[in-house]
A and B are shown apart, each in its own frame.
Chain A
Amino acid sequence: MDIQLGRADLAKYPFLSQAGEHAKAFDLDLSDLGSAEYAPVAERAKERVLEAVRKGKVSDNLVNPDVELLSFPLAMVLVKATGLEHLASRYALSEALRVEGLLEKETNINVIAYIFRNALKVELEEASDGPQGHGFAIRFSEYLKRSTQFHEPEWKLINRPVSKGRVYLAKHDLVRLIRAEIRRMIYQRLKSLTVPRLPPLLDQFVKEITARTPPPRRVEDVIPVSPDMYPPCVKHALDMLKNGQDPPHFARFLMTTYLLNIGKSVDDVIGIFPRAADFNERVTRYQVEHLAGIRGGKVKYRVPSCKNVVSHSFCFRDSVYCPNIVNPVQYGRRPPAVKKVKKSNA
């Protein structure tokens, strides 16, 4: 179903094609937007970006819908002009979170369904035969394309009502899928955007934003990890070797890729193997070098994800660091899970 959105809705959802058309009708270029006449638009654009930097979420400001609508494409220009890759990623997520907040409050289900179809380009079926509260359905292949990007167990296919190739969804599922798509869409648009020379005011905003954006966290850097801080799955594989047991193939793969990824040398890793039941140094060296990217396809293998470890029944998660990670290599690098304190009803 196609619906006509009002100005306020377009301001809320400025990434929609209808919103783009509305913005084009103003017939403005960057020199216009950098002039005093349109200062509120430029100011709001800067604010959008700085909110992303400071809070990780862009606020709603619907006092003047046109300002809100026009400030979105301009904010994208400002982000791109900084040349900061990590800001682009942060901004995309911050805008997506803003949209998610609005959609959660959206009472008109037709608007949500419209945005879903418009943003995801996926056939959304209104399904009356689904379980209670699951009034929508999409093809499972379309579902999987998106759900595999989420790490919460609720998004596993097995935890969804599935029938005849369709996955049933509730309203809040649609909202979450929209959020992920908006983030991806904004990030992609930022990547392909080319920025011409900016008028002085906007140029000054770019400098200000750049100065106020902290440098990126570099989680992928090689950080030496002491053996007592290895994740439980890797520890378990190492313990098996130590005890003369024969770890399954997957456990060896996990352990080897993990050790190589935290900066151990090929020789360090081979040194761990001699006690394995069927040790053959030549073969082991070949395999470890292959995973290290020295041989074969010359690609260094990544550590399998926690999801993958669970699928191979080799997850021995703890309740401290494991809840906050999606890959064993992040173990101990992300803050421990905070135990929720139960509120007393007294």
Chain B
Amino acid sequence: MLDPTVDALKRIFKEHYFKHSDRVEVPIRMSEREFGYWPFGGGMIRHLSFKTPGELIATLVKEAPKGAYYSCGYYHEPTLPMAEKGWKSGDLVFDIDADDLDSPCKKEHDRWTCKKCPKMGIGIRPEKCPACGNTRIAQLNWVCYKCLDASKREVFKLLDMLEGDFGVEEKCLRTYFSGNMGYHISVEDKIMEDLNQESRGEIVDYVVGIGLLPSIIGVAKQSSYEYLSSKLPSDGEEGWRGRIAGYLKDYELKGLEGSGGGDAKAKILSIYKKSGYERFRKLLEQASRAAGVAIDPNVTTDIHRIFRMPGTLHGESGLEKMKVENLERFDPFVDPVLLKDEEVKVSVKFAPPFTLRGVKYGPYSKQEVVLPEAAAVYLMGKGLAQIVAGSP
């Protein structure tokens, strides 16, 4: 028998899929893809194939899983074991997760709990529980407007790079809210589709800003200042030279305070003169990571990954993985909130404050509250609340 909370989540998801099956975005070339889903209270089920959208929707309604996925890859035989599927090609995808951004707000809203004793704390988990010394500690990653706005800025940077550097046409780019912690970007372009794992790894390094050589912006160990002046990049240049120039132009080096905002070349030269080659090289690493995009490298390079299906609900939040038409205006705590306002009584272990559809909730600590279905699922999905018996 299912846990009553799991049962409630499943019932709510089932009702949603039954009423809003038209929201599920059926992928192109579906018969060539592997599908999978993660049932509430069970383990991941993979290597499935659906021949028709109807078959897929029927399974979603019947199983009402906490996550539904399909492969970015196209296979000859999607249902066979991985080594025998026969990879043909695959969409190029990017995952930008607020959790990877190390935003300062993480220290305010993330929580940890010891798995052995009742001890809990704010911020990133310690190596050992300060109360009982246990090393098994659960981490709760939370999101707020600040970190999802930071993710949005990363998406803008990525889209600029894909269009400007890689020449991807805007019509080939799709941006989705992931349903929980960030954004997914998918490129549907024949040229990208055929790239192998190594090539995708190179794209990742390019996008993230890994491995940039000082010589790219004209800096070599032995070069004279005159030579440097002629080779250094200007602010408006294309590609990585321009990105580095843009970052260094406003960089405040100790001893050179207040020199930002002028000509990039002159600024870079004065930083170089002040710092010397080795320090400058390290600064360049910092500059390239800051000017690059914080994507999850594993998602882009893993050509066998199954990726959350657009139009389905995220089991940890109840929010929809939703296509974003206008990123500037998209509100991740309003637009993808699709569950009902019907009230549900839950017992909350603890919860940092959060906002859904413009209504503020929490903070809560060891208390029973009556919440709209969407807010109750937001907490139950994260394991922070239990349904109270007798609740509708």
Contact = CB atoms under 8 A, between A and B. Distances in A.
A168 B164 CA distance: 14
A297 B201 contact: no
A142 to B, nearest CB: 9
B99 interface: no
Interface in A134-190: 139-141, 144-145, 147-148, 153-154, 156-159, 161-166
Given A277-B136, A297-B83, A311-B201, A164 B211 contact: no
Interface stretch (B26-34, B191-199, B316-324): B191-199
B contact residues, range = 35 or more
A166 B166 CA distance: 7
B239 A161 contact: yes
B213 interface: yes
B194 A141 contact: yes
Given A244-B127, A245-B127, A163 B201 contact: no
Given A141-B191, A166-B167, A311 B210 contact: yes
A62 interface: no
A163 B241 CA distance: 11
B135 A158 contact: no
Contacts of B37: none
A307 interface: yes
A148 B205 CA distance: 12
Nearest to A142: B191
Contacts of A307: 201
B144 interface: no
B165 interface: yes
Give the interface SS of chain A, mostly helix, strand, loop or mixed. Answer: mixed
B386 to A, nearest CB: 25
B201 A308 contact: yes
A contact residues, range = 20 to 34
A277 B135 contact: yes
Interface string B153-167: 000000000001111
A167 B241 CA distance: 14
Contacts of A166: 167
A153 B213 contact: yes
A103 B234 CA distance: 34
A172 to B, nearest CB: 14
B290 to A, nearest CB: 14
A222 interface: no
A307 B301 CA distance: 13
Nearest to A246: B127
Contact of A159 (B196, B199, B216): B216
B164 to A, nearest CB: 7
Given A148-B198, A148-B199, A159-B211, A278 B135 contact: yes
B271 interface: no
B238 interface: yes
B212 interface: yes
Interface in A288-343: 297-299, 307-308, 310-313
A163 B202 contact: no
Which of B165, B194, B209, B238 is packed against the most chain A CB atoms within 10 Å?
A: B165
A141 to B, nearest CB: 5
Contacts of A156: 202, 205-206, 211, 213
Which of A141, A153, A245 is packed against the most chain B CB atoms within 10 Å?
A: A141
A165 B167 contact: yes
A303 to B, nearest CB: 15
Nearest to B134: A277
B234 to A, nearest CB: 12
Given A165-B191, A244-B135, A278-B136, A158 B212 contact: yes
B205 A165 contact: no
15 contacts: A144-B199, A148-B202, A153-B211, A154-B213, A156-B211, A156-B213, A158-B206, A158-B210, A158-B288, A159-B212, A163-B239, A165-B165, A244-B127, A245-B127, A308-B201
Given A307-B201, A311-B210, 8 more contacts: A144-B198, A156-B211, A161-B238, A162-B165, A162-B239, A297-B82, A310-B210, A313-B210
Interface of A: 139-141, 144-145, 147-148, 153-154, 156-159, 161-166, 244-246, 277-278, 297-299, 307-308, 310-313
